[in-house]
Amino acid sequence: MQTGRIKMYDSLKGFGFILTDDDEDLYFSRQDIHPKSKNTPLREGLKVSFDLKREIKGDRAINIRILE
How far is 42 from 33, CA to CA, in rounded Å? Answer: 10
Query: Which domains does the chain possess?
Result: 2-66 (2.40.50.140)
Q: What distances in angstroms separate CA 47 from CA 19, 57, 67, one per listed residue? A: 10, 25, 6
Q: pLDDT, tens digit, for every residue of 22-42?
A: 999 999 999 999 998 888 889
- 3-state secondary structure (DSSP) of residue 17: strand
Q: pLDDT, tens digit, for every residue of 43-68?
A: 999 999 999 999 998 899 999 999 97
How far is 33 from 9, CA to CA, in rounded Å? Answer: 12
